[in-house]
Structure 1
Amino acid sequence: QDPYLLLTGPTRAPVTLFGPMHFDITLKVKRSNELEDKDLSLLGFRYECCKSINYQASKGECALRSCVSSQKHRSKLSTLELTCSIVVSSIEATISVCIVGGSWPDGFSGRFIASTASVSHMRVLLLNIGDKDTPVVAADGTIELSRRVVSVESFGELRVHAAGWLGSQQIDREVFFQPLESGRSSRSLKVGSCEMEVTVGWSLFPLCYPTDRIPSPKNG
């Protein structure tokens, strides 16, 4: 029922894009016994997101605006839609959420989501929680997110959003972060009586697309 698919392996982190990308995707129907898993779709394709930005990259120019594009791929048993967002002048944001007061609210059903102000409709699912689920919490109160790393423009804004239901009460909480070149920043987020601290660690990506290989050192 949930249209989101959580990518595994290195694709959990943002991908540094230097041109068209090639994807190999295996979509499986999971069974209780791993040996009984069934393949639903096997896809391999070349993906070129946001042609105007790729054109700029091929000309050695820095892209100025972030963008989003989608492509649908059909197989005999399913249709898979791949949505790609290019975030220009990108900063890597590593997100953690820690309970600092109260306890996890029983019966909360919702999601933790991250997005950027410039591409607000392109939301990254950090954690999906059913009303009978309790997220894995470490001894220090840290919540186990399904995904932790996203990209945000250095001149933009990162939004971390908690939305869902607590009984009949609708929950809609959001905190905002201004990107830094390095270091950490924290904000408080409250769901019911549970107070959480959202912390973001910042690190740099290249600002421009390389136009050629890094030159070898000259002899002498």
Structure 2
Amino acid sequence: MQDPYLVLVGPTRAVLYSGYVYFDAMLKVKGRTEFEDTDLSLVFERFLCCEKLNLCVSFGECMLRSCVSSSLYTSKLSTLELTCGLVVSSVEATIAAQIVKGSWPEGSRGQLTACIGSVGDMNVMLLDSREEKLPVIAADGTIQLSRRVVSVERFGQLIVRGVVNRGGGDHDKVLAEGKASFAPLDAGRSRGTLDLNGMCKLEITVAWSLILKYPPVGGLPPTS
């Protein structure tokens, strides 16, 4: 059996984790010009796994548990919280959303998130419309997501959630919510319906692909 491997996921990208990983974060307060920008937080830290490498058994194979952890980094001007999740034995899920029935309520805040079943408290934000109009970019109801790709355990579950909140000052008032679940595949597509309490229905399409642990024999094909 090959050694298990981990994939690191965050709000911007997924990274194959087979050794040491370092995070470099630079936060600035914008001024009127670039020369007037002020440093708020500078962090360069090595990532440490969020828990001991305990083994579990799934489908007769030993593999590491997925996990999530947070660390605080304090500077003179700010405190930065860095949350990292390790997703074991991963496949890549590329998500698309389309309104197929009804319409999104005007003036409300819409959020679409994704998580894996074993680490349900780590939600990856796919879309947060705030109080702006939902970014529908095609006549067929296709929604423009701010993030589309997440990593999912091959033996686990992908969960996509949708929440509609009231606009104005009552942001905590939930008008509708729903979820759709998907079993991972090595390749191909999955489709499911996310029903927001009858207000509207979204068709969620997930395209699956493997994450390469090693480069293919002969190298990657040249780009044109």
Q: How does 1:52-67 map to 2 (within 5 A)?
A: 52-53=52-53, 63-67=63-67
Alignment of 1:190 onto 2:195: yes
Once residues 21 and 162 of structure 1 are traced to their aligned partners in structure 2, the CA distance between those partners, rounded to angstroms, is: 32
Once residues 20 and 160 of structure 1 are traced to their aligned partners in structure 2, the CA distance between those partners, rounded to angstroms, is: 30
Q: How does 1:14-93 map to 2 (within 5 A)?
A: 14-30=14-30, 37-50=37-50, 52-53=52-53, 63-93=63-93
Which structure has the highest helix share of the two?
A: 1
> Unmatched 5+ residue regions in structure 1?
1-9, 55-61
Partner residue of 1:163?
163
Which structure has the highest strand share of the two?
A: 2
Secondary structure of the structure 1 residue equivalent to 2:128: strand
Q: CA RMSD in A?
A: 3.0
- Alpha-carbon shift at residue 37 of structure 1 (Å): 4.2
Q: 1:112 to 1:32 in 2, by over 3 A?
A: farther
* Preserved CA contact (<8 Å) 2:112 2:162: yes
* Preserved CA contact (<8 Å) 1:90 1:206: no
Q: 1:37 to 1:148 in 2, by over 3 A?
A: farther
Partner residue of 1:134?
133
Q: How does 1:89-108 map to 2 (within 5 A)?
A: 89-108=89-108
Alignment of 1:12 onto 2:12: yes
Once residues 15 and 93 of structure 2 are traced to their aligned partners in structure 1, the CA distance between those partners, rounded to angstroms, is: 13
Instruction: Letter of the 2:133 partner, please give it.
Output: T
> Unmatched 5+ residue regions in structure 2?
1-9, 55-61, 168-172, 219-224
Once the two structures are aligned, what percentage of the paired residues are identical? 49
* Preserved CA contact (<8 Å) 2:27 2:40: yes
Q: 1:195 to 1:37 in 2, by over 3 A?
A: farther
Q: Which digits, 9 at most, give the CA deviation of each residue in 1:178-204, with x for residues without a partner?
A: 101101111112335332111111111
Q: Which digits, 9 at most, give the CA deviation of each residue in 1:126-156, with x for residues without a partner?
A: 111223x113221242211111111111110
- Alpha-carbon shift at residue 52 of structure 1 (Å): 2.7
- Alpha-carbon shift at residue 104 of structure 1 (Å): 2.5
Once residues 127 and 85 of structure 2 are traced to their aligned partners in structure 1, the CA distance between those partners, rounded to angstroms, is: 19
Once residues 190 and 76 of structure 2 are traced to their aligned partners in structure 1, the CA distance between those partners, rounded to angstroms, is: 47
Q: Which digits, 9 at most, give the CA deviation of each residue in 1:6-48, with x for residues without a partner?
A: xxxx972211111221111111234676665433112112112
Q: 1:184 to 1:85 in 2, by over 3 A?
A: same
Secondary structure of the structure 2 residue equivalent to 1:52: coil
> What's the TM-score once normalised by structure 1's chain length?
0.77
Partner residue of 1:7?
none
Q: Which digits, 9 at most, give the CA deviation of each residue in 1:45-67, with x for residues without a partner?
A: 2112235339xxxxxxx742111
